[in-house]
Chain A
Amino acid sequence: MTPPSTPGPPRPVGMPADTRSNGARPSDYPVSDPDEDEDDLIPSPDHGAVAVFQAPQAPRRPAGGPSPHGRGEGEHADIDSPFLDLFSSSAGRPAPPRSAARAPAARVAEPLRRPVEATPAEPVRRPVEPPPSEPVRRPVEPPSAEPVRRPVEPSPTEPVRRPVEAAPAEPFTNGVGGHGIGTESIGSPDRGGESPAVPEKEAGPPIATRSPARADRTPRHAAFEPELEPVNLPAVREPGADPLVRRPPAEPATRRRPEERRPREEPAPRPRKEVSRRQEVAPRSKPVRPPKIKFADRDPAVNLAITEIAGHLTFTPNTVTAWYWLPEVRWAFRPDAEREALLSAISEQYAGLAGFRLHLRRTTRPFPADEWARTLDMNTPQPLSGVPGATSWSDHLVNAQRHLLSVNHAEGQTYLGVTFARRSLGDSFVERLLRAFGRGVAEGERRKLGRTVEQFDEVLGAFGMRGRQVTTHELEWLLYRSVALCMAPPTTLSPVTGGQWERGDLLALTEQIERYRTPYGSTVKLVNRMTAEERHVAVLAVGRMEPLEIPERHEPWLHFHERLPWPMELSSRVDVLGSGDSFRNLEHRLRMIRSQQLDYAEHGIDAPPELERLAKRALVIGDEMTTGLPVESARAHGWHRIAVGGRTREECLERARRIIQLYSRELRISLQHPKNQDWLAREFIPGEPVANTGYIRRMPVKLLAAALPQAASTVGDRRGDLIGRTAGTCRRPVFLDLHFPMEVRERSGLAVFVAEPGGGKSTLLGALGYLAARRGVQVTLLDPSGPLARLCSMPELRPYSRVLNLTGSEHGTLAPYSLIPTPLRSEFASGATGDREYEIAVSNARAERRMLVQDICSMLVPPQVAREASTATLLRHAVRQVPAEETSTLDDVVACLAGLDDDNGKELANLLLDTAEMPLALLFFGRPPEGLLGADAALTVITMAGLRLPDLKIEREYWSAEEALALPMLHTAHRLAVRRCYGGSMSSRKMVGLDEAHFMEGWRSGRSFLVRLARDSRKWNLSALVASQNPRDILGLDVQNLVSTVFVGRIAEDVEIASEALRLLRVPVNDGYEATLASLSNVDTASASRLGFREFVMRDVDGRVQKVRVDVSYVEGLLDHLDTTPTGAAAPQSNLPSATPDAEV
């Protein structure tokens, strides 16, 4: 069980952080609570919610906590519901074990979600009430507090208003809680000390005050209030989400009570009269007797056509449908050949379903931000401990989740239903009969169908759709989502968190969805009477379609809608006709056209040219059908609908207008907005009939396959930091854990960043460094130009970071010999092979040192001298003389050269000493100071402030002395940055970010450095980020197969570099993707403000490529500190996507 303590009051998005919130996460982050879920988080189990990472609290709960089932006699005392008495008897029943098991989750979610929603509503109406943080504590208030306080609250001055408004807000939830299972979650007695002061504590006449409340309410709502249970509220709502809130959406309960799960017992809510009558009677009647709950609901309800779900089959009285789950497929940045192969595989699968009616359904699921946050937290064993005054780790995670929710990423879920069997009258009669005995479809029939349905598993499971059978759970989810079209999904369906919906729960939730229509209306209004969520839905039908060139020019036509930033639902009802059927169908049409042509000829009138053209086409198609493969001839005749939702009718229609416009402009598909929307909306529900035969589209199965509603563009792992979202055809959040390649995929950790100057490399590098440092990764950033040093001044990092400015460092900081660490014997396996490996590694290190020293020396001497053959020989000789150990210095080499009885050698020594006159060059000479780079700092930024970097396009001869010195400095600085990572333990997470890596090109040691970095990265769990302006140096280094993650930013100037970058991404070159690179981070020329975001094309370790918009604005102050642009401080950065107003729950 989760502890009763509440995880701090999460605040609604946009409210300023209050310092009382989730606090720091000290080292004793609770692991102790025995009842806790396996992970120590207190997340709300619902998707819309923000998992709040709770500061540790003493596990007070077990001390006096009531047993899960045990409910004291006076337990109801704390619940102030007018309907409490209704349930008094059922409260006496022992709660079913299942519900008891689920109780903890219910309680977890409640405190979390409540304040977010309740806060805006409550303070206005209840000035007497404690501050907004109050609801958080509510559920665990002492039993005695509430009942007394509540009834009295309506002060004499506002006798009528109070009950009317307050009553629906809170007490009902409690009442329901009291009824089923929730009491123990409400009445934990251990929070007495924290409960808010109870203002007036006299026992008032409870009934007297409550009655007016009901009387004033509209009958319909009053009737349903026993069920009032705002389950479906999204955790973070946009303000004004419900313009027509009829009831303040306060106090969401988490789940349905068991009575709703047992439909046969209590299928519908009680009528109002019943409720009020019982109300008045109940308190007087002492002996508790079970209320006879007659849900004679007066408002009409129609049962769906589906009567049974069995496994992945659904039964209606006439048909049986098998449902399959179609996993998402990658579409963006794939070679056209691959895409075509995919499409033709899918169309073959469709053709294989000839003769059946399909229902292709796509719905969405809001991104489970809390799940992600939990994963991230689990992957972060030691986050940086909090600094007073700065955001703590838990707040950081909460911010990230809020950001995720505010920009609204929805994940698509695609279902395919194959209606494959007609049921005989006998079958459905038997079902009816058996239902009466609680058994449903006869076993014989199911057995028979089970054999038939196997053929679909085979057809759909193959490459292409790769469909798998859905689970009953998913079917329930689909049914709920279809009934509550475009509404916020029920909040607790989550695969991991323990907030599972039990069987039948979701179906019961459909009870709450009311539907309204207006005559000739263009939308349907859906109201969830539990949450008061109101949604207007417009259903558009796919009308006339012009020819499409799907892999080449156009996007899949049912994936296309994902460009728009709000979720939509799709439903396609398709009859697949096999070659015989479709040929007959078409031939008939062809004959009619022919006869019309003849008619014209007979009458001596010119036939319209269209007729001629159509006749020709029909001929060609007919020929294709008779001679071609089944794929060519199979046809899909069907109806395709898109449902668009909005909070108001205007918003809905505006969205519909936008999608119609987008489709007609980009895909040349005209979406129609027919009347009879209620029927169309009903068509989305599996098993319901097709609304009408209008807008039937007849197409080859290839075109249907090219609809590809399951296309997606995900990239990144789902366990790392949030770095932005995909910016291509749909919006998905992008997470990046830089250690994922090493720890899970067993690949190298080299990540490459390529972009033109100003493309955002450094900012991304800094942001990743920051995020990694937050997670306790030892981060070293090499930033020659220096702006990243400002990261160290961020309040949360300041105590853990240090800046090393090389230009102001002591002698010997960059002494080349010591830059290459000697391997330790302990790093290798024991035994003879280990010895051997160790020896090899030691001699490799020596060789590398020699190579580095040679390179550094030839960088230090003038290029003319370095180019001479004798120089190389002499240097090699000298380096050979000096022992290649860490303790050697460059001075030894100079001394060795000077000691040679060769003029050239002496000259070379003098040249080297000449350079040593420059203060910067002294860094190379002498011994390194002790403890230069301790392993303790979480973030170390190495800068070379004031150093002028040379232009590599200019010959070395023309570089100034300072510029010439920058080259060896950069080389050694790279080594220095990595050197630090070899200090600690091998398995600890390390990250090193190297900017300006293109200076490593053209030198042996540079090449070996990168290769070694890529090779070592896995062994040392070292994530190396290498930023470069030119992908050629990475490609040329032949480490491409060691590169795990690639970011390519804007490359507009140089086509050659662009194609190199594409090669790095492993995206086909000369396929038009160069233009994509050029259009990244495109500036709107009309706007005067700076570009608030940067776009990259990213390839993750699994080879998925996607356009990504980097957005780390959720980290407070990070962008200000990362801003490398001079005027940065003045211009406020707004990295939120421009489409935020569109985003919705």
Chain B
Amino acid sequence: MRLRTDDDIYRARLVYLGPPGYTLPVHLPYAQYGVFMLLVPLFMFIHYLFTFDVELFPAWEIALAVVTTSFIFRYVDPDRPARMVVRTALTDWRRTREPASEQRDPRLVATRIRVREELV
């Protein structure tokens, strides 16, 4: 039996080519546009917090969002989901290589589990 996964179907690279009639020079996945669009208002809001002023054309924010998006997508992919990246970053952010020191994780303890021989 020839058996194969469906993964390639899910792996297909779906990119935004641009609005009809106009092809963008760079093709980026839809997800990146999505993240970008979320980041711009975020940066605008942050900017607003500092200046109490909303700019008409948020140039800085757009630039920052572009950089941030590309930065995020350098580290996040389906096999390295964002949650895991964030978690790793939170726990391990100090070091990038294997250090000599190690820290203790909580022991996982099964003592409190109640055992019952029969279900009913």
Write the residues of chain A forming the contact surface with B, with a CB cutoff of 8 angstroms: 263, 267, 299-304, 306-313, 340, 343, 435, 440-441, 443, 446-447, 449-450, 453, 472, 476, 479-480, 483, 503-504, 507-508, 510-511, 513-522, 524-525, 543-552, 586, 589-590, 592-593, 596, 599-600, 602-605, 608, 610-611, 614, 617-618, 621, 635, 672, 674-676, 678-679, 682, 685, 688, 691-700, 702-703, 706
Q: Contacts A521-B98, A614-B9, A694-B80: A340 and B113 contacting too (C-beta < 8 A)?
A: no
Beta-carbon contacts under 8 Å, B66-120 to A: 78-81, 83-84, 87-88, 91-99, 101-120
A618 touches B102 (CB 8 A): no
B91 touches A446 (CB 8 A): no
Q: Contacts A311-B117, A675-B88: A614 and B101 contacting too (C-beta < 8 A)?
A: no
Interface centre among B101, B103, B120 (most CB of A within 10 A): B120
From the candidates A307, A449, A511, A678, name the one contacting B113 in the complex (CB within 8 A): A307
Complexed CA–CA distance, A1000 and B111 (Å): 68
Complexed CA–CA distance, A303 and B107 (Å): 8
Task: Answer yes or no: B34 CB below 8 A from chain A CBs.
Answer: no
Which chain B positions have C-beta within 8 A of A672?
Answer: 79
A503 touches B117 (CB 8 A): yes
B103 touches A516 (CB 8 A): yes
Q: Contacts A521-B98, A543-B79, A698-B6: A443 and B113 contacting too (C-beta < 8 A)?
A: no
Complexed CA–CA distance, A446 and B119 (Å): 6
B12 touches A697 (CB 8 A): no
Q: Contacts A304-B108, A617-B8, A678-B105: A549 and B113 contacting too (C-beta < 8 A)?
A: no
B68 vs chain A, min Cβ distance (A): 22
A-B residue pairs in contact (CB < 8 Å), sample of 23 = A301-B107, A302-B108, A303-B110, A308-B115, A310-B114, A310-B116, A311-B118, A483-B109, A510-B109, A511-B109, A511-B111, A548-B3, A551-B1, A592-B14, A599-B16, A614-B12, A618-B9, A635-B6, A674-B80, A692-B81, A694-B78, A696-B78, A700-B6
Q: Contacts A545-B5, A605-B23: A307 and B109 contacting too (C-beta < 8 A)?
A: no
Which chain A positions have C-beta within 8 A of B88?
Answer: 520, 675-676
Beta-carbon contacts under 8 Å, B1-41 to A: 1-10, 12-18, 20, 23
B120 touches A520 (CB 8 A): no
Q: Contacts A672-B79, A676-B84, A678-B105: A307 and B112 contacting too (C-beta < 8 A)?
A: yes
How many positions in chain B have a CB within 8 Å of any CB in the partner chain? 56
A824 vs chain B, min Cβ distance (A): 56
From the candidates B20, B104, B118, name the one contacting A300 in the complex (CB within 8 A): B104
A685 touches B95 (CB 8 A): no
Q: Which residue of B lies closest to A453 (CB)?
A: B119
Which chain A positions have C-beta within 8 A of B79?
Answer: 543, 672, 674, 694-695
A550 touches B3 (CB 8 A): yes
A350 vs chain B, min Cβ distance (A): 13
A307 touches B117 (CB 8 A): no
Known: A307-B112, A507-B113, A518-B99. 17 other contacts (CB 8 A): A303-B109, A303-B112, A310-B119, A450-B119, A479-B113, A510-B108, A513-B108, A515-B106, A521-B98, A543-B79, A593-B14, A603-B20, A674-B79, A693-B84, A694-B81, A699-B5, A699-B6
A520 touches B119 (CB 8 A): no
B107 touches A621 (CB 8 A): no
A483 touches B108 (CB 8 A): yes
Report, nearest first, the 3 A-B pairs whose CB atoms are least far apart.
A311-B119, A519-B92, A547-B4
Which chain A positions have C-beta within 8 A of B103?
Answer: 516-519
Complexed CA–CA distance, A617 and B5 (Å): 11
Which chain B positions have C-beta within 8 A of A605?
Answer: 17, 23
A443 touches B120 (CB 8 A): yes
The A contact surface, by secondary structure, is mixed
B117 touches A304 (CB 8 A): no
Q: Contacts A517-B103, A551-B1, A702-B1: A302 and B109 contacting too (C-beta < 8 A)?
A: yes
Which chain A positions have C-beta within 8 A of B23?
Answer: 603-605
Q: Which residue of B lies closest to A706 (CB)?
A: B3
Complexed CA–CA distance, A300 and B101 (Å): 18
A418 vs chain B, min Cβ distance (A): 14
Complexed CA–CA distance, A607 and B96 (Å): 39
Complexed CA–CA distance, A597 and B10 (Å): 15
Complexed CA–CA distance, A521 and B78 (Å): 21
Complexed CA–CA distance, A736 and B105 (Å): 47
A295 vs chain B, min Cβ distance (A): 10
Complexed CA–CA distance, A303 and B91 (Å): 21
B119 touches A698 (CB 8 A): no
Q: Which residue of A lies closest to B109 (CB)?
A: A301
B3 touches A518 (CB 8 A): no
B94 touches A519 (CB 8 A): yes
Q: Which residue of A lies closest to B111 (CB)?
A: A263
B29 vs chain A, min Cβ distance (A): 10
Complexed CA–CA distance, A311 and B80 (Å): 38
Complexed CA–CA distance, A440 and B84 (Å): 34
Q: Contacts A618-B9, A700-B3, A700-B6: A682 and B108 contacting too (C-beta < 8 A)?
A: yes
B119 touches A304 (CB 8 A): no
Q: Contacts A550-B3, A706-B3: A310 and B113 contacting too (C-beta < 8 A)?
A: no
Complexed CA–CA distance, A596 and B2 (Å): 29
From the candidates A479, A547, A590, name the one contacting B110 in the complex (CB within 8 A): A479
Q: Contacts A514-B104, A516-B104, A693-B81: A547 and B3 contacting too (C-beta < 8 A)?
A: yes
Q: Which residue of A lies closest to B108 (CB)?
A: A483
Q: Contacts A446-B119, A519-B91, A695-B79: A586 and B112 contacting too (C-beta < 8 A)?
A: no
Which chain A positions have C-beta within 8 A of B1?
Answer: 340, 343, 549-552, 702, 706
Complexed CA–CA distance, A869 and B98 (Å): 91
Q: Which residue of B lies closest to A680 (CB)?
A: B84
Which chain A positions have C-beta within 8 A of B114?
Answer: 307-310, 435, 440-441
From the candidates B2, B87, B105, B111, name the one contacting A516 in the complex (CB within 8 A): B105
B2 touches A547 (CB 8 A): yes
A520 touches B92 (CB 8 A): yes
A629 vs chain B, min Cβ distance (A): 15
From the candidates A301, A450, A480, A617, name the one contacting B106 in the complex (CB within 8 A): A301
Q: Which residue of B lies closest to A314 (CB)?
A: B113
Complexed CA–CA distance, A312 and B119 (Å): 7
B4 touches A548 (CB 8 A): yes
Which chain A positions have C-beta within 8 A of B84?
Answer: 674-676, 679, 691-694
Which chain A positions have C-beta within 8 A of B107?
Answer: 299-302, 510-511, 513-515
Complexed CA–CA distance, A621 and B80 (Å): 27
Which chain B positions have C-beta within 8 A of A549?
Answer: 1-3
B14 touches A596 (CB 8 A): yes
B95 touches A519 (CB 8 A): yes
A182 vs chain B, min Cβ distance (A): 21
Complexed CA–CA distance, A696 and B78 (Å): 8
B31 vs chain A, min Cβ distance (A): 12
Complexed CA–CA distance, A590 and B8 (Å): 12
Q: Which residue of A lies closest to B81 (CB)?
A: A693
A892 vs chain B, min Cβ distance (A): 69
A551 vs chain B, min Cβ distance (A): 6
Which chain A positions have C-beta within 8 A of B80?
Answer: 674, 694
A299 touches B6 (CB 8 A): no
B110 touches A306 (CB 8 A): yes
B10 vs chain A, min Cβ distance (A): 6
A379 vs chain B, min Cβ distance (A): 33
B39 vs chain A, min Cβ distance (A): 22
Which chain A positions have C-beta within 8 A of B4?
Answer: 545-548, 699, 703
Complexed CA–CA distance, A299 and B78 (Å): 36
A518 touches B110 (CB 8 A): no
B113 touches A308 (CB 8 A): yes
B88 vs chain A, min Cβ distance (A): 5
Which chain B positions have C-beta within 8 A of A300?
Answer: 104-107
B102 touches A521 (CB 8 A): yes
B9 touches A449 (CB 8 A): no
Q: Which residue of A lies closest to B119 (CB)?
A: A311
A671 vs chain B, min Cβ distance (A): 12
Q: Which residue of B lies closest to A434 (CB)?
A: B114
Interface centre among B8, B97, B102, B119 (most CB of A within 10 A): B119
B7 touches A698 (CB 8 A): yes
